[in-house]
Amino acid sequence: MNEGALQELIEHKFAPGPLLAVQGFANTYSYEYDEELLADPEGSRRWLAGAGLIGKKTKISARDQEEILELRAAVRAMLDANHHGSSAKAAVKTLRRLAAEHPVEFEVTDEGAVELDLRPAKSASEFIGQTIGIINQAQVRDEWKRLKICLADDCRWAFYDRSKNLGGNWCRMEVCGNRTKNRKYRRKSTD
């Protein structure tokens, strides 16, 4: 994982460790600028390799592309549900299917510790399994519920909520929060 490249994409409110990869992956589509970084198999390959999530020579097929976009949509729906403490049933169904088709790879250290294999994936299938494994680790560590989607409709950026009460709603209060509050205020004053 290339943390520098991922942090450059995300800009602020970074998730810890491997969860940063899921946050960066979720942010490969910008609602604010209508910019798609995973527009086609080559675009996906280029972004994933640049982020250090797959090997530089890893190929992405049209079918791989479909599954990568399915995974991203499921992840984003689950992050959106983290605001409400609800379940994203369709996303869970997609994630369940992808988990069954793309097993998580582990490595065993010389000391016998079983760890998620976080080396750059050699295939799209390995990347999907690795992403699901990172989600599992984040859930076990109680970090997953802190990764959310900004509530501003014109932003929708994934951010890591470090607030004690898990009350963060916006990726940047000074931008998205203020914009939302100002709109609300203007609507009230015109009524």
- What CATH number is attached to the domain comprising 59? 1.10.3300.10
Domains held by the chain: number? 1
pTM of the model: 0.87
Q: Which two tokens stand for residue 149?
A: 């989607």
Range of the domain at 134: 3-190
Q: Using the structure block, give the residue that is written with the tokens 């940047």.
A: 172
- Cα 59 to Cα 38, 64, 65, 185, distances in angstroms: 14, 9, 10, 50
The residue-averaged pLDDT of 70-96 equals: 90
Q: List pLDDT tens digits, range 139-174.
A: 999 999 999 999 888 888 999 999 888 888 878 766
At 110, is the secondary structure helix, strand, or coil? coil
